[in-house]
Structure 1
């Protein structure tokens, strides 16, 4: 058979069995004698035969394909979660198709429909519609119909009335850890910059921030909490707004994510104020920053593994209890160099 592409028919002919038997050996979920199984697998190994994925899905009635839809894959948080999801999916024998919706809800819905057309066994949603405080009613109804046809798993977000399986990091707890850390270092004047008012993950963090200040009997000042977005420029612009609207100033600033925190650091180089900075997500940007950023880390590997485990297990969406994972505070130069208790 040298010099030509090997097919399942060639394998069957050399093994002296039917193509159906070869398919059963490949699928691994039908009874085949050990002697026949060893013979077929030996020939498959000899010719380095890789069965066509479509053929395998037809024989097993499973596509082994999952979809992963996120609004901005260039955001290091989203890309890091995707890497972990894909890694654990491959270990379970799945392939993952990525849909980058570019923060466009219509494109997000289009990707979902495309994945259904490709018979995806499940769809994982991170960001986008599942984080809208006021999601579009028509799109929500679409999701309700889609969950009847395939399994939905959401990461760090959920929509009321849609029975998706859900795993998330306790982002509120992460903010509490940040405030505790800053207070321990002697800070009593703390602000938070970034995010959008209409996004649930932002509101979770803001709510936790207010409560954490209250726990320490510290004042929350409206003018020290600024919605500005999620990218580096949002940190820079948020800092400018803070300066323009305040005479009194915080000693520590929390960025809603690492990119915003880096924007704060960048903007402060022009102002040269003596500030401590904290990011959120603990992406590679936190280490690349100067100074290196203190940041809250998601348990990335656990997020990816849990999402795939939820997808792989036969669970009832309606009776499933959401899985909440603990964050980790990683302390670095951006706060430790600004320890008020040592001054």
Structure 2
């Protein structure tokens, strides 16, 4: 009579072990089976901007890599926070992605009077994909030939030099505010509703300066409409090797670099996050993708999820501190 009991115990034990092995293997199995449906890549800004361009490059390559459709969905508004919130509240399955940036992931959350999600917990960083600097650009008819000239003029007549931006709290605004703070000059911020209108008014002479994106700066300076005084990156740019950095032009320690990165919903299976990171790193390593980024004035880069998450958290801390010190708010 002992044999049937032994057989039952053996059967139960085997079943329990089988269940345990399935449970232990489920994350890996989920990642192996993922994806099996289309993905959506949200962008917090209108089509045609840098965020949108980067998203479409990544989406096209990711679609080929994963074998599933990747649809870019533009949800502009609130400095990118509308798209961020949509991803934060999506299902935790990796099928909803966000092409984020320094602006909508670490600056807009700090400036927002009310936030309906936690940017640290509800969005899961996957990998950074590109970095970009700005250029201190002035109207070509102005006498400023260097950052030193610009600073001297600002100190001689405080509050008389204006700089344009694509809006209050934008990266162009903060690049200028940081410059004013570190150079100890009073330059007046003029916010616009977008980058195109802002740079057009610099070209027209309505505003003296702008901390512009690199492609726009190169294009207008080549046309003789503007003059590039310096770039905001820590080192000189390959695309502008003869243009000094702001730091080497008289404002030691100054650096302002924007970045773009991929996010998904917080709480998504870590195995899926890792799989996405690996696929995107392969994409960023492709020479043809790097060429597309560089044509937009972007430097292609990548990272692992943990280091990208640490960077996002550091910058949320930094902008919470710096925005308060610069007395910037959305009225």
TM-score (norm 1): 0.43
Determine which structure has more spread, i.e. the larger CA radius of gyration. Answer: 1
